Amino acid sequence: MTAVGPHVDRPPRAPGAHPLLGHLKPLLIDPLGLLAVLPHLGDVVELRFGRTPTYVVCSPEAAQHVLRNSDRAFDKGGTFYENVRSMVGDGMATCPLARHKRLRRLAQPAFRSDRMTGYAHTIHAQVDAVISSWRPGQSLDVLPEMRALAARTTFATMFSRRELDAPEIAGLRQAVTAFVEHQTIPRMVAPSLNRLPTARNHRYRESEARLLRFLDGEIAAYRADGTDHGDLMSMFTTSLDSDRLTDAEVRDTVVTVLLGGITTTAVSHAWALHQLSLDPALDAAVAAEAQAAAPLDDSAADAVDRLPLTRGVVAEVLRHRVASWIFPRVAVTDTTIGSRRIPAGAQVLLSPYVLHHRPDLFATPDNFDPHRWDGRDPHRTKGWLPFGAGESKCIGYELAFIELTLSLAHIVRTWRLLPSPAAVRPRPRLHLEPHGLTLRLAERAPH
Ligand code: HEM
């Protein structure tokens, strides 16, 4: 696809561009509305923001072409990654391809399927710790609560050498929250906002520095200890061959995993609970399945196998309200996507949200229907790309799927979450958040 031949055209441009601001205003006000119209225009559609040509990929074939990147025409870059890099360093998720392969190869063993088995028990314990403080009738601010749960689970799978104390957990959670709250669309478009001497930026830098100090201490302790504790830190620090990660690389990888893993899992979990609260019949069926499948803290794979409907709910949340709704690449050379010309330096936006709402790929895409996954493997479904694809596909995708399925089952078998009085709407920031989601807790009678 790299040869730029005579039958290659510029991608069509989306309507509604302002002569000076291009599509900036709709991007800031209603990004999902802006994206919704694009697949009608073509497989690759141009948006205008400033001087950098920007293209949105709207078909599964075009998305696979860019993400699999067999002609090495695309790399990570652009304002989105510049923004994340300026905040969390240059780890595996953000660094250019030239460094990525080695980091990925060294971190990959930590996410092998056979390592997941022991995580079922860890997930169970963390859900118990969170839900044990819940009371019937309580109103739950769901997203922060799910962030706390995802944070606990990620810390437990990452650091099992010793039990973290309460101030350490609070400090880590605060760093994750500070990161999420800093990730706004204006900062993604103009990362230089992070360099302004504002109180907000200052507070962020302080919390980041605390996080890095904590991680440096833990890395040194894991290195000195040298044993495999069956957790992610052991894999990053001790179980690698001679081409081991340096301390700085471990730190960047851990920050990436902490921030990337916690925030995405938390929003997906919150959306799942929201969807169950809207559909009492589905909620009852998922709860009955969870109660019948107990105990859920044996082998993770076996436990997940006993939860087909819950798995369908998770697959559908990852389709309908996909956390990573958009992420970019930059063209490093003049290239093509299908029959469309892409100039070197252009920003290419991948939007799983766009693909997941195409009616030709997913019938009635705006309906939340977990049964569309009955007997169907989402990982083999064309156009389902919540974890990306190719060499940068989410390294934690199996862990995320297991974590979401098991935690959801643990929660719903004892608690019903009754619907929000306020309207809940998707708020696109770094991830697609359920804005305004509070649910009321009610105890569930056993089936
Ligand atoms: C529902 C949960 C999750 C979603 C939707 C998600 C989504 C994604 C996506 C779309 C990418 C690819 C970005 C790109 O190609 O530019 C990615 C990369 C990554 N994710 Fe996840 N993720 C999730 C959970 C996790 C978890 C639990 C972890 C770790 C514990 C994790 C760690 C990573 C890392 C390290 C990368 C960078 C991989 C690389 O560049 O090679 N993610 N994730």
Q: How confident is the model at residue 242 (pLDDT cuts 50, 70, 90)?
A: low
Provide the pLDDT for residue 257: 85
Cα 221 from Cα 352, distance rounded (Å): 40
**The pLDDT of residue 370 is above 80:** yes
Q: Which residue type is seen at 230?
A: G
Find the mean pLDDT for residues 118-135. 89
Provide the pLDDT for residue 301: 75
Structure tokens at 365: 């895409």
Provide the pLDDT for residue 167: 86
Q: Where are the domains of the chain?
A: 24-443
**The pLDDT of residue 239 is above 70:** no
395 lines ligand 1 (CB under 6 A): yes
Please name which of 436, 439, 431 lies closest in space to residue 188, comparing C-alpha atoms: 431
Position in ligand 1 atom list of the atom nearest CA 150: 27
The contacts of residue 325 (CB under 8 Å, 6+ apart) are 32, 351, 352, 353, 428, 431, 432
Provide the pLDDT for residue 187: 72
**The pLDDT of residue 87 is above 70:** no
- 28: helix, coil or strand? helix
Nearest CA to ligand 1 atom 1: 265
Position in ligand 1 atom list of the atom nearest CA 352: 10
What single DSSP character describes residue 244? P
Taking only the tens place, the pLDDT of each residue in 339-360 is: 999 999 999 999 999 999 999 9
Structure tokens at 285: 């069926």
Provide the pLDDT for residue 408: 97
Please name which of 56, 19, 27, 52 lies closest in space to residue 40, comparing C-alpha atoms: 56
Nearest CA to ligand 1 atom 6: 387
171 lines ligand 1 (CB under 6 A): no
Higher pLDDT, 368 or 112: 368
Nearest CA to ligand 1 atom 13: 388
CA angle 278, 353, 260 (to 5 degrees): 90
Taking only the tens place, the pLDDT of each residue in 106-115 is: 888 778 777 7
256 lines ligand 1 (CB under 6 A): yes
Q: How confident is the model at residue 6 (pLDDT cuts 50, 70, 90)?
A: low
Q: Which residue type is seen at 425?
A: R
Cα 363 from Cα 410, distance rounded (Å): 30
324 lines ligand 1 (CB under 6 A): yes
Please name which of 261, 217, 218 lies closest in space to residue 110, comparing C-alpha atoms: 261
- Extract the runs of DSSP E, i.e. beta strands, from 117-250: 139-141
The whole-model pTM stands at: 0.92
* pLDDT, the chain, mean: 88
CATH top-level class for 24-443?
mainly alpha
